[in-house]
Structures are given as structure tokens and as C-alpha cells.
Amino acid sequence: MSSTKIEELEEVLRIIQESEKETALELEEKLRSLEERQSEAIVKFYEDLQRLENEEIASKTAIEKIRREFASRFDLLLVEKGSDQGAEIKEIATELPPGKISAIPVRKWDGEEKIVFLHIGKAGGTSFDGMMGKALKGRSKYVGGLHFDWTYVEERYPSGEVVTMLREPVSRAISHFHFMKKLSWTKGMAIRQQSIDQFLDDPVSMMHNRGCWQDGQAAVSWFTGTHVGNWVKKGRSAETNGEILERKAFNYQQELLETADKIDGMFWFGILEDLDRSLELLAFQLKLPFGSLSLPKSNSNKAPAAKPSEESMEKLQSLMPQDLWVYKYAKRVFQARWEYYKTGSFKPPNRPPFPKVNCLSTRFILKCTGGPYQGPRQSWTQ
């Protein structure tokens, strides 16, 4: 058996180990039906499974798909479940597309790979760090406490299990605005005395503090490695030239697809507006007791009593169509994962149609061809 097939076999085992509900003993019985054609690699696979006895590993639906993939990859013949010894052996055809198995969208942590937290600004990340530091105390398996994008993850923790918290983009932007008002470098700037309504009607102040409203701040820039903030760590070999990163970001459809793919494949992500269910799912995946995770209040900022006007809400929405698209899709994926967790049935969600992007922004310019910022203020420069 080639080394590639052995690696594929080991990948199958890893996925099974991270799954849920069916005991290793039941899997052991299924694998006993393999015929004499088992190779040394398959025997090792079988022995590894025996060591998992009494652990919860995979739902019945998911494990059947894995068995079929296992059979098709290694040209094996499997005994149909429930057949008597010596019954007719039937050849099982694959039901999955070629490539990495993705039948289990909610998998359990193996306790070996690091949990890597992609900390998106003003999305509950500081509180999440505090919670995880307490929950995983002594395991030395948690990477957090820093702001970094996906290039840093790929370079430093290529096999890590990535987690993140997502927040509704407009709400995140408003929180970021109030946070900026207290930062030392905004001393003497107009933003310190402005309401959110005044800020969004002041092009100079907006461009000086574009980090709170610029599209990508709530998701896309972090996932695609196009964040230009000098406070966000990148991989050592990653592109750091702001102009090049901004040109890449203008290909927004490709950026959205890249972000959606990473959401599909990441170990866990939470929705701040759906916190209870998010933390219940995380506790399950980390093999922690039910109800053991709760987000402490930290790094909180008291916003003024006055809420943003409807006009300001419309302005913010017009500035971040990409992040709003990602948030919409992420909620669909989360709901599909939740239903899988509860029922064992996973239905991959459809991706929304691409958004209409009327505004493009860089470090130096905001240009809009539609929406609240078109017309006389179509192009603002810093």
C-alpha cells in the first residue's frame, strides 16, 4: 500500500476519533467483517480503533459514509451491516466526492492540536480569551491573546484547530467607534467629541478613523490576510505592502469565496448574537461539561444613551456589504452545524448571492457610486 493511501487511511481514523455518538466497540464489529485482503496498514487501523473502546466517536449516518469512503479508497469489500457470517459480500461504491472527507461538520477536539483563536476586533474576543484560559488551564493548547490574521495561522499553526467569534458587522462597527474614542492616539481628534451620527457625516474624521467602519474589519480582512492594520500580526512571509493588499481586496468576489471556504472548514466559530448556543456547541466539541462555558464581561465600553439614527444605520450598512454577506452566510452554516449536533443530519447551506458593492475604500480614499455616500461626497480622500 502506498504511503499516500496510508496517510489517507490515517486521516479517516483521525476524523472518526473526533466524531461522536457511536462507540468504538460498534465500529470494531463492523471492521471485523473485512476479508483476508486487509493489508498491514488496515490491520494497524483496526488495532487503533480497538484502543478507542467505550469512547463516543461518530454518528451512525456519518460513520456509514466514512465506511463507504474507506471501502472505495482502498478497494475493499465490506459485509453489509446486519448480515450473517459467511453471507454474500457486496462491493460498496463511494458516495463522497474525491478529496478530504468532510462528512462530519461538527467534530470533537483530539486534545493534541492547538486551539488557535482568530481574534476579530470588538467581537467579544477579550472575554473569549479569558474564558478559554480558564477552561483549558494546564493544557497549554490554547493560542490567544493576540490579534493576527490567517497568514499568521497558516505559518505558525498549520495544523491548529481555528476558532473565532463573529459579530453583526454594524453592531461591531458602532462598538469599535466608541472604543476608538478612548484610545490614546485619538487625543485631540474630532472623534473624541462626536456622536456616531456626527462622525458618519464628517469625511475627515471618518478617514482618520476608518478602522471602525471599513469593510473587512468584521471578517473578510482577517480571513484573507488583507488586513492593513499594523496592530494585526501576519506571517513572516505574508504580503505587508498596503497598496498590494488593497488591490487584492478589490477582487471582492474572490475574497468572499475564500472567506466562506474557511468558515466551512474551521473547527468552530461562534455568533456573538447567538452566544448560548455557540458556547454549548464549543463545550461539546472540546469535551467539556454541558453549561461549563460562559463569557465574562471584559473590555466593555459604555456607549452614549443616544442610539444611531436610521440614516446612520443605513450609512454603515452601505459601507460594509462584504462583511454583511459573510455574517449572513456564517449564520446559515452555524444553524446547519447546530442541527447536525442535535439530530446527526447535516444539510450544507447555500451561499447568498454576491452583494452589490457601491463603496470601495482604501487607507486614503472612500469612493461610492451608490447609496448614502454617492453624489457630491462620492470620493473622499485623507
How do residues 13-72 score in pLDDT, each as one tens digit? Answer: 666 666 544 555 555 555 555 444 444 555 555 454 444 433 444 444 444 555 555 554
SS3 assignment, position 257: helix
Q: Where residue 93 falls among pLDDT bands split at 50, 70, 90?
A: very low
Cell of residue 21, nine digits: 455518538
pLDDT over 50 (residue 318): yes
Could you give all domains of the chain from N- to C-terminal order, each with its CATH number?
A: 3-91 (no CATH), 115-381 (3.40.50)
Please state the rounded mean pLDDT for residues 277-286: 97
Please state the rounded mean pLDDT for residues 320-327: 97
pLDDT over 90 (residue 367): no
pLDDT over 80 (residue 205): yes
pLDDT of res. 280: 97
Cell of residue 353, nine digits: 448571492
pLDDT of res. 20: 47
**Which of 150, 202, 209, 130 is closest to 174 using CA atoms?**
209
Q: What is the pLDDT of residues 168-186, one digit of tens each?
A: 999 999 999 999 999 999 9
pLDDT of res. 16: 62
Q: CA 96 from chain center: how many Å?
A: 23
* Inter-residue contact 59 to 21 (CB < 8 Å): yes
How far is it, in rounded angstroms, from Cα 116 to Cα 154? Answer: 11
Q: CA quadruple 227, 228, 231, 233: dihedral positive or negative?
A: positive
pLDDT of res. 364: 79
Please state the rounded mean pLDDT for residues 148-175: 97
Q: Where residue 84 falls among pLDDT bands split at 50, 70, 90?
A: very low
pLDDT over 50 (residue 210): yes
Cell of residue 106, nine digits: 461538527
pLDDT of res. 118: 98
pLDDT of res. 163: 98
SS3 assignment, position 143: strand
CA atoms lying within 13 Å on the CB side of residue 218: 31
How far is it, in rounded angstroms, from Cα 299 to Cα 119? Answer: 14
Any idea which residue has 492594520 for its cell? 229
pLDDT over 70 (residue 165): yes
pLDDT of res. 226: 95
pLDDT of res. 214: 93
The pLDDT mean for the chain works out to 79
Q: CA 185 from chain center: how many Å?
A: 31
Please state the rounded mean pLDDT for residues 146-162: 96
| pLDDT greater at residue 214 or residue 360 | 214
pLDDT of res. 344: 87
| pLDDT greater at residue 379 or residue 119 | 119
Q: What is the pLDDT of residues 57-79, one digit of tens each?
A: 444 444 455 555 555 444 443 33
